[in-house]
Amino acid sequence: MRILLMGNPNVGKSAVFSRLTGANVIVSNYAGTTVEFTKGSVKIAGQHIELVDVPGTYTLEPTNKAEQIAVEMLEACKNDDIVVNIVDATNLERNLNLTLQLLQKQVRIIVALNFWDETKHKGITINLEKLEDILKVPCVPTCAVTGQGVKDLVERIKEAKPSSFKYDEQEKWHEIGNIVDKVQTITHRHHTFLEVLADASVKPLTGLPIAIVSLFLSFKLIQLIGEGLKGYVFEPVFKNLWSPLMLKLSFLLSSRGLIHDLIIGHLVEGQIDYGQSFGLLTTGLFVPLGIVLPYVFAFYVVLSFLEDFGYLPRLAIMADTLMHRLGLHGLAIIPMLLGLGCNVPGVLSTRILETRRERFIAVTILAIGVPCAALQAMIVGLVGKHGIVNLGIVYGTLLVVWFVLGVLLNWIIKERSPEIFIEIPPYRIPYLGSLSKKIYMRIKWFIREAVPFVLLGVLLVNVLYTLGIIQAVGKIAAPVITRILGLPREAVGALIIGFLRKDVAVGMLIPLGLTTKQLIIASVVLTMYFPCVATFTTLVKELGFVDMLKSAGIMLLSSLIVGGLLNLILA
Amino acid sequence: MSGMNENKQRAGFTGRRMSLARMRAGQRGKIVRMSSSYGIVRKLEALGIRQGEEIKKISEQWMRGPVLLQHGNSQVAIGFGMASKVLVEITGEEQQ
């Protein structure tokens, strides 16, 4: 027996899934958060049952890939399987279209009317008994984000049954209209502040300033939280608590030798220098936890809030015209924003785009021009010291590259790009519980993914240097590195390690004592030249090997051109 | 089409027919015909947006950007091209 959660996009299927299984899935306030089905297990009456979070669909006659998956999963239903049809209670008419189609399939169904709490604010009253009478399946009110009603849903899940409700397919919408008339009453009410704000966010005269202000505030907030945490919490902890411990350990290891250099690294004037020591327990921990984590945390606090509030699809509307220049439409702004945190979820979310061509353009410019939070934290730390203007040059260059490359790809790969088509959810005040859970999940994911790779990177740096490999490759690559990019030949080490972790790679630049100009070029080239291994494997999975090769060719070529140009232009 | 004609068309008297793309933000109208491609008509219909339904235009963007429409309690953003293939009969207008 299995339980399938099915419903329109953005009705809270993932929220119900997360409530039922306790599993960690990302829940946001826009359509298409779940691009692949997720499986989990739920315990009902002492029995473990498989639960599947199916991608949202408006209809069982699929109009895109996600809907196709949903339909195939329904077709594979066995007799004792149960479909929990999650319905947006504030949009009964639109949602009943899918419900009626599901009832036709003669599978066991129970309906959950989600966003039940919101119906009250919207002046909507739904008569549940009448609805159950008509549909002839159980109907349960829920508010999945807060968890209200979910217990009732679990208790009544066994009551799910095939419905004997019949209707004429030709008269479907007429039938739906009849049902809605019978069960729902709407009382008039005034626009709420959130609704007024929602409308203002999508009108050009007010929407553009809102977009600019909210993006600016987001960056300021990320900077404030990130710098604050780093300066007042993480750095003091490393300096005052961790350093003394490491010095003791260094003493115990008699301050030298292979093991000592691997674990502690080189002492600078008898002290730990987290930028230069390059030991596993010093630089290896300081980079991911001391520098990167504060910014990753800050980024996800802000992004998660914007997601849950419902701003991203509105930003997509405002960005649509711009994105069409790149052969994409407005929704492509969402993968780009996610990519600013980590390129992997960014690449995965390009599945909300319809065609292969769009996805190729989107992932290529994402991997080249969108630095992840870890890389940004290091760049901000290193280049920021040399003045905000120089940091501006790095970001400005990447933005220009991102845009120009998109325009070029759009021009080279000639094909009409599809137009935007997305339901825009209402603004919702994020529920603190689910918001903090999402941030916690993302941080946990970051630590689990980043720390081992950073440690591996630091280990590899030591091994490659000891074996003289970096020096040898440096000699071969010297003409490119020194002549075209104007960097010292040792910088090749950063390019090698950058494939593993780009934050470690930037860290490797610190001991080289680069000039400001070299730092700018190195930061830009490191961002552009090739994706890190985590993004690389995701790209191969998403694009296939051949397209990945094409994409990688574009990356290498454009980073050489841009790095070379910067070397010529910058004084 | 000349600028004057366009202005006249956009004047938006009740009962006038025009494409969703030409409607003014704030106007309401009944869908008379959708002549987009089959796939897009199906997508719209899956959301309940179909011939005879009343919709309201919430916003439009500069340079032929997307159109946001409201149907019932839900809002849908569609491209300018799609919007220009939805013929609407104006039924009323809200003060902006």
- pLDDT tens sequence across A480-529: 999 999 999 999 999 999 999 999 999 999 999 999 999 999 999 999 99
Cβ–Cβ < 8 Å for A447, A293: yes
Say what the pLDDT of residue B8 is: 44
Q: Is residue B7's pLDDT more than 50?
A: no
Burial class of residue A355 (count of CB atoms within 10 Å of its CB; 0-12, 13-18, 19+)? middle
Inter-chain touch A329–B47, beta carbons under 8 Å: no
CA proximity to B77, closest of A390, A466, A422, A529: A422
Answer whether A533's CB lies under 8 Å from A503's CB: no
Among A58, A176, A317, the residue with its CB nearest the CB of B66 is A317
3-state secondary structure of B87: strand
pLDDT of A51 strictly over 90 = yes
**pLDDT, tens digit, for every residue of B38-51?**
888 999 999 999 99
Check residue B6 and give its pLDDT: 47
Question: Residue A64's pLDDT band (boundaries 50, 70, 90)?
Answer: confident
3-state secondary structure of B67: strand
Q: Say whether pLDDT at A297 is over 60.
A: yes
Over 60: is that where the pLDDT of A400 sits?
Answer: yes
pLDDT tens digits, residue range A409-447? 999 999 988 999 999 999 999 999 999 999 999 999 999
Helix (H) or strand (E) holding B75: strand B74-78
What value, to the nearest 5°, has the Cα angle with vertex A438 and ends A434 and A439? Answer: 120
Chain A contacts of B63, Cβ < 8 Å? Answer: 321
Tell me the three state secondary structure of residue A64: coil
Helix (H/G/I), strand (E/B), else coil: A51: strand
pLDDT, tens digit, 9 for 90 and up, residues A97-145: 999 999 999 999 999 999 999 999 899 999 999 999 999 999 999 999 9
Instruction: Name the band, by pLDDT with cuts 50, 70 and 90, for residue B5.
Output: very low
Q: Rounded CA gap, B16 and B20, in Å?
A: 12
Partners of B61 on chain A (C-beta within 8 Å) are 204, 317-318, 320-321
pLDDT value at position B4?
A: 46
Paired tokens of A510: 């610190």
Six token digits for residue A355: 């065609």
Please tell me which residue, A198 or A62, carries the higher pLDDT value.
Answer: A198
Radius of gyration of chain A (CA): 27
Q: Which whole number is the average pLDDT over A224-231?
A: 96
Residues 6+ apart with CB under 8 A from A324: A417
Tell me the CA end-to-end span of chain A in Å, nearest whole number: 69
Residues 66-95 of A with CB under 8 A from B: 90-91, 93-94
Question: What 3-state DSSP class applies to A107?
Answer: coil
The mean pLDDT value of chain A amounts to 94
| DSSP classification of residue A46 | T
Helices and strands (DSSP H and E) totals, chain A: 27, 9
Residues A526, A506: contact at Cβ < 8 Å? yes
Looking at the complex, does the CB of residue A355 fall below 8 Å from at least one CB of chain B? Answer: no
Sequence-distant (6+) residues with CB within 8 A of A23 are A17, A38, A40
- SS3 string of A122-172? CCEEECHHHHHHHHCCCEEECECCCCECHHHHHHHHHHCECCCCCCCHHHH
Q: Is A53 helix (H, G, I), strand (E, B) or coil?
A: strand
How many CB atoms are located within 10 Å of the residue A62 CB? 17
For the cut 50, the answer to whether the pLDDT of residue B1 exceeds it is no
**The predicted structure's pLDDT at residue A38:** 84
Instruction: Determine how many CB atoms are found less than 10 A away from the CB of residue A418.
Output: 18
The beta-carbon neighbor of A203 closest among B50, B59, B75 is: B59
Interchain CB distance below 8 Å, A199 and B78: no
Distance CA(A109)–CA(A559), nearest Å, equals 55
Structure tokens at A425: 């959810």
> Which chain A residue has its CA at the smallest distance from B81's CA?
A419
d(CA A310, CA A417): 25
Low-confidence winner among A112-121, A183-192, A457-466, B11-20 (lowest mean pLDDT): B11-20
Q: How many Cα atoms are found within 13 Å in the side-chain-facing hemisphere of B56? A: 15
Would you say the pTM of this structure is higher than 0.90? yes
Q: Phi first, then psi: what are they for A47, rounded to 5°? A: -115, 135
Q: Is A9 on the interface with B (CB under 8 A)?
A: no
* Token couple for A411: 């021009």
Tell me what pLDDT residue A35 has: 67
The pLDDT confidence band at residue A214, using thresholds 50, 70 and 90, is very high
**CB–CB contact B48 A202 (8 Å):** no
Q: How far apart are CA B54 and CA A176, in angstroms?
A: 16
Q: Answer for the pair A329, A370: CB distance below 8 angstroms, yes or no.
A: no
CA distance A490 to A498: 13
C-alpha A421/C-alpha A314 separation (Å) is 12
Question: What is the structure's pLDDT at B95?
Answer: 64
Q: Can you list the alpha helix ranges (DSSP code H) found in A310-387?
A: 312-325, 333-339, 343-348, 356-369, 373-383
Residue in the block written with tokens 């953003």: B77
d(C-alpha A184, C-alpha A246), whole Å: 68
pLDDT of residue A383 exceeding 90, the answer is: yes
**Spatial CB neighbours of A290, under 8 Å, sequence gap ≥ 6:** A230, A234, A235, A237, A238, A274
pLDDT of the residue at A472: 94
Nearest to A421 among B48, B59, B78 (CB): B78
CA A478 – CA A492 distance, rounded (Å): 8
Backbone angles phi, psi at A298, to 5 degrees: -60, -45
Judge whether A61 is closer than 8 Å to chain B, CB to CB.
yes
**Residue B96 binned pLDDT confidence (cut-offs 50, 70, 90):** low
Output the CA angle A440-A444-A450, nearest 5 degrees. 140
Q: How far apart are CA A118 and CA A538, in angstroms?
A: 38
On the question of pLDDT at A95 being above 90, the answer is: yes
Contact with chain B for residue A185, Cβ under 8 A:
no
Dihedrals phi, psi of A55, to nearest 5 degrees: -55, 150
A93: nearest CA in chain B? B48
Instruction: Give A232's DSSP letter.
Output: I
Q: Does B9 score more than 50 pLDDT?
A: no
* Bridge partners (DSSP) listed for residue B68: B59, B77
Q: Could you report the per-residue pLDDT of A9-25, keeping only the tens digit for each?
A: 999 999 999 999 887 77
The DSSP call for residue A203 is S
Tokens for B35? 């002549």
Residues 6+ apart with CB under 8 A from A62: A68, A70, A71
CA distances, B83 to each of A64, B41, B59, B88 (Å): 20, 11, 12, 10
Question: In this predicted structure, what is the pLDDT of residue A17?
Answer: 94
Whether A198 and A146 have beta carbons less than 8 Å apart is answered as no
E-strand ranges in A10-107 read 38-44, 47-53, 82-88
Q: What is the mean pLDDT of residues A216-228?
A: 97
Q: How far is A204 from chain B (nearest CA, A)?
A: 6
Chain B residues with CB-CB distance to A118 below 8 A: none
Smallest CA–CA distance from A90 into chain B, residue: B73
A42/A22 Cα distance (integer angstroms) = 8
Cβ pair B68:A202 closer than 8 A = yes
